[in-house]
Chain A
Amino acid sequence: MTKKTTPGHRWQAVLLAIFIGLLCRTAAAATFRWANDGDPNSMDPYARQETFLLSFDMNMYEPLVRRDDKLALEPGLATGWKAIDPTTWRFTLRQGVRFHDGTPFTSDDVVFSWGRAVGPGSNIGGALSTVKEVRKIDDYTVDFITNGPNPILPDYLTTLAMMSKTWCTQHNATHAADLTKEEENYAARNENGTGPFILRRREPDVETVLAKNPDWWDAGEHPVGIDEAVFTRIQNAVTRVSALLSSELDMIYTVPPQDIERIAATPGMKIWRTAELRTLFLGMDQERPELLESNIKGKNPFKDRRVRQAVYQAIDEEAIAKKVMRGYAHPTGLLIGPKVNGYDPALDTRYPYDPAAARNLLAEAGYPEGFELGMDCPNNRYVNDEAICEAVVAMLARVGIKVDLRAQTRAKFFAKINGPRYETSFYLLGWTPATYDGLDVLDALAATRRAGSRDGFYNFGSYSNPQVDKLIRDIQGESDAGKRRELIGDALRLVRDDVAYIPLHQQVVVWASRDAVDLAQGGDNYFQLRYVRLK
């Protein structure tokens, strides 16, 4: 007779199975698990100029010049660089570096990578528009020829990943993904970089697993602290935070402001914070003869500097930083933050919050009763973007300016306010200088808009000051770092005095992790796995 399994036995078996399941989860050593609200979407580092995609792919790929944990430049795949004449930068390449497939890295790969980055399908070419040509001198020397002097070219190259010419040719990936073609680009799902991590497995939008590269050239000086890194996309903020609190994950970003205190108060959890490079500001249309959706006909109030200052002084940024941002923002009077080259604390002062002065200025300008206008605001782009706009609207109402707020998704927002339509009178925008340098901000936001060029290509309000334009040209040609910083300061001062924009604040980058995790947090929101340590 066979032995009968009693219900009790069966329960024990189930419990045992669950127990083993739990054991298996904690057994794997030095595995780091983290989540973000986005997915890198592509393993091709030229697929999109987007912080998350680039920062993810740059764990596998490397640039010639890279940034350390303090955001300072340091040698990457180039061991040294110098300007040999005003328009030529010479880079000496590191020898003995191999791609993950074993092929050696040489100057041919640099020339190829540049061509691929500015070629069809690539979306990172914009940052390289000043480079005219990349020339091979010998196997380990290349020259970057620029259109005009570019003293900060090495900064531009920190986002240009080096790809293998042989590998791309072999796999028919010499161009970045073409959206009009009905097939997946090989480089979108596979990688062949030189970096500290190798792609082990990828399930787009679900899970991506990276493994330590045992043969990384820099392992001697900068040993990598983890063997394996598992990335999961978790879009819903509540779920993301829950997964951290339940220890299913080691680290998450981004962290919603309302959950920061809760995580910080949980034993075993830790909050990481630092000021971000991005500055949020309000822009005003200073070109149209008449504002859109305004009751003032025949003239544009924003053309009057006094009106712009009145709007500025009617906004209580301290209150926004404290209430809307819950303290996770640094109020600013400049379009650049402390970590950007050219920042001068002496210039970083705001026009004081003073509704009475604002009303006086409005009366002086001929609008004692205020006026009406429309405002555009994204609702899924920046931290609490819509709430910031709502606060601004309420504050402006107190001085008689009636604002009709249009909060919309980023896809709609940028389609509306971007060129060629520039269909906005008043808008909230954030800008991160891709080069960590003040010139980028001046170029994009303050230069007089010129069709077909990059001058003022994010200057949606069409601010224009010939003196600023001249200073920008001077900065572009100046190779002395100290003098250059001074010129950037001069230009930023002019922009501030003109009240071309109303700077609001720099967001605070907030990450959360378990106590056992150590990492490096720059203000650029790049998360470099090579700095992660597990205690």
Chain B
Amino acid sequence: MIAFLLHRLCQGVLVLLAIALIAFALFNYVGDPVSGIAGQDAGLADRARLRQELGLDDGVAIRFGRFVAGLARGDFGVSYQEARPVGQIIREKLPATLELSAVAALIAAAAGVPLGIYTALHRRGRLARALLALSLMGVSLPTFLIGILLILVFSVWLRWLPSFGRGGVVAIGWWTTGLLTVAGWRAILLPALTLALFQTALIMRLVRAEMIEVLRADFIRFGRARGLTARALNFGHALKNILVPVITIGGLQLGSTIAFAIITETVFQWPGMGLMFIQAVTFADIPIMAAYLVLVGLFFVTINLTTDLLYLAIDPRLRVERARIGFG
């Protein structure tokens, strides 16, 4: 078990380094932050001095080395745009993104699983078919369009919910939460729905497919032959069996929810990390972009690792399998 963990941790670090390196190679093409910092009246000499101070003239290898050395000390550098430590900026933005993703994931799970079961049990039903068609839309409509539609209906026409921002936030240490105020909940509803729509559709379709598969299995038929109630069969036996794949996919999707949040955050001016990243790109704010990419990489690595461990814990068959092949 320990060997397995260590092995995966080493892999994770390598993945993160690779992400950082690719990011740094790409930063040569995002443009020159100096024109944004210095303004139109700065002379050539001023620009050259600034560029040198920021180390922008050094090669990719040197800058990458500096970045990794900084990371090892827990230092992400200083944002060009805001002239303050990137670590501090990320600490301000992280809670917004994590709360949004968590609420979206909860909505997706709370809506997706029951809907999936319903559509699996009533395959021929009219409502089930309508839900399936809707879910197809949820999968295929682009996020920004859904967001803009929701704003148009609920903010501009009905004026029920705010179209931007986090509403009221309460600070708990360095963490800020919008989940303790009415204004905060009103604000999170539209962006969380936007973000959750795709995931809901995905989970619903997954649960439906798995459910239909399991309901055909022998043990369900025998159960039915023994006279178990439909309720006991569907929820007691079938549902338990489909949870493993649903948890795996759901967990992995949490990573992409955090990454997908970029678009949702831009549409709703949600002050999270995705919005921070987009704003950094327009300014060529390299320290912020680098930190964001590495951080998102870190989320994915952590989530993958956790899912693997969960899998191991949930499914006894896998433990035996892994032991035999030596954690390949």
Contacts and interface: CB of A to CB of B under 8 A. Distances in A.
Interface stretch (B127-135, B224-232, B241-249, B268-276): B268-276
Contact of A248 (B39, B46, B162): B162
Interface in A374-429: 380, 408-415, 418-420
B155 to A, nearest CB: 5
A413 B31 contact: yes
A186 to B, nearest CB: 11
Interface stretch (A74-82, A217-225, A227-235): A227-235
A235 B278 contact: yes
A458 B35 CA distance: 12
Nearest to B160: A18
Given A123-B38, A415-B35, A179 B54 contact: yes
A354 interface: no
Contacts of A242: 148, 151-152, 155-156, 163
B166 to A, nearest CB: 8
A349 interface: no
Contacts of B166: 206
B190 to A, nearest CB: 11
Given A47-B83, A49-B38, A248-B155, A126 B46 contact: yes
Contacts, number: 182
A239 B53 contact: no
B282 A380 contact: yes
B32 A247 contact: no
Contacts of A178: 83
| Most chain A CB atoms below 10 A, which of B31, B37, B50, B53 | B31
Contacts of A125: 42, 46
Contacts of A238: 148, 151, 267
Given A126-B39, A179-B54, A183-B85, A243 B44 contact: no
Interface string B157-183: 001101111100000000000000011
A234 B54 CA distance: 29
A533 B182 CA distance: 31
Contact of B156 (A47, A235, A245): A245
Given A238-B267, A246-B155, A123 B35 contact: no
B87 to A, nearest CB: 9
Given A125-B46, A184-B88, A235-B278, A411 B267 contact: no
A188 interface: yes
Interface string B277-306: 011011110000000000000000000000
Q: Kindly state the interface size class of chain A when it binds its partner.
A: 35 or more
Contact of A41 (B30, B53, B82, B182): B82
A220 B163 CA distance: 39
A234 B40 contact: no
Nearest to A181: B78
Interface of A: 17-18, 21, 35, 39, 41-42, 47-50, 123-127, 129, 177-185, 188-189, 203-207, 232-236, 238-239, 242-243, 245-248, 380, 408-415, 418-420, 431-432, 434, 451-454, 457-458
Interface of B: 29-48, 50, 53-54, 75, 77-78, 80-85, 88-89, 92, 148, 151-152, 155-156, 159-160, 162-166, 182-183, 186, 266-269, 271, 275-276, 278-279, 281-284
Q: Please provide the 9 A-B residue pairs with the shortest distance between their CB atoms, ordered closest to farther.
A: A411-B31, A49-B39, A415-B32, A126-B41, A412-B31, A414-B35, A411-B284, A177-B83, A184-B84
27 contacts: A49-B42, A126-B39, A126-B42, A126-B43, A179-B78, A182-B78, A182-B85, A188-B82, A203-B271, A204-B82, A204-B92, A206-B271, A207-B165, A234-B164, A235-B266, A238-B267, A239-B267, A243-B164, A246-B156, A248-B155, A248-B162, A409-B284, A411-B284, A431-B40, A451-B44, A452-B44, A458-B40
